[in-house]
Amino acid sequence: MFEMKNVVFDIGCKRLLHSTNIQFAPGKVHGLIGHNGSGKSTLLKLLAQQNKPTAGVIEFDGQSLASWRSKLFARQVAYLPQHLPAGDNLTGRELIAFGRYPWHGLLGQHTQEDAAQVERAIRLTQTERLVDRLVDTLSGGEKQRVWLAMLIAQGSRFLLLDEPLAALDIAHQAEVLTLIQQLSRELGLGIIIVLHDINMAARYCDNLVALHSGRILAQGAPADIMRPDTLAAIYGIAMHIVPNVRNSHPIAVLA
């Protein structure tokens, strides 16, 4: 479990995250939502040890992040940033194999276990047809699948995903989120994901955390967040909630 206790983050004289207390349980998909600049990526980078809190404590499995050795932490938690490296001149399989780095280092020899974990990740993400192609020739949705396969090969228990749907069309967004949801269910992974589309977040996440101006404004099951007054407070715009005739997931539309 991740837990943030009175966590504050400042850059210079600007406070990007105010005193924050929250827990993220394993085995669930947690969506971070809110307008641009609300603190979503800031919170995720703190969990990923990309930044250190100005004040407060972040714990993983009851142990302060500051006390985790980086390679051991990477065996437990995998982070996918918003802006991904190009992966030039790498095949899909070579990129996926980089996920084994925390287990042996850049110069270490890949073992049979490494090879087995890579093949498992390829199978789970259904990327068999992509692994022999160069990453820079893949479409946006295909690249996201290969990057997710790399995280699965890493063998971590928590995945931190910063806007993995950026620049994807709606079909590829649904495809990637379906895969993320399936991986969480099948492998018991805790996944914390930054999303902009409230309807996608409500459809595919088990829990939503809404941020506004660096503060947690609301959190709970999607049904608890998908209310006109709550959404108005989060996004600053009036919305209606429309029942979905095909399933139980409500849809937010502009008023």
Q: Is it the case that residue 225 has pLDDT exceeding 90?
A: yes
Residue with tokens 């890493």: 154
Domain range for 77: 2-254
Give residue 105's pLDDT. Answer: 58
Structural domains counted in the chain = 1
Give me the pLDDT at residue 243, please: 78
The answer to whether the CB of 229 falls within 8 A of the CB of 210 is no
Tell me the average pLDDT across 55-83: 93
pLDDT at 86 over 90: no
CA distance 228 to 240: 6
Which CATH number do you get for residue 236? 3.40.50.300
105-125 confidence digits (pLDDT tens): 556 677 889 999 999 999 999
Instruction: Say what the pLDDT of residue 167 is.
Output: 76
47 pLDDT above the threshold of 70: yes
Q: What share of the chain in percent tops pLDDT 70?
A: 97
Question: pLDDT digits over 148-204, tens only?
Answer: 999 999 999 999 999 998 878 899 899 999 999 999 999 999 999 999 999 999 999
Between 103 and 64, the higher pLDDT residue: 64
The CA-CA-CA angle for residues 11, 24, 74, to 5°, reads 70
pLDDT of residue 106: 58
Average confidence (pLDDT) over 90-104: 91
Instruction: Report residue 95 as tokens.
Output: 């990129």
Q: Write down the pTM of the prediction.
A: 0.93
The single residue listed with the structure tokens 């600007």 is 14
Q: For 42-65, what is the mean pLDDT? A: 96
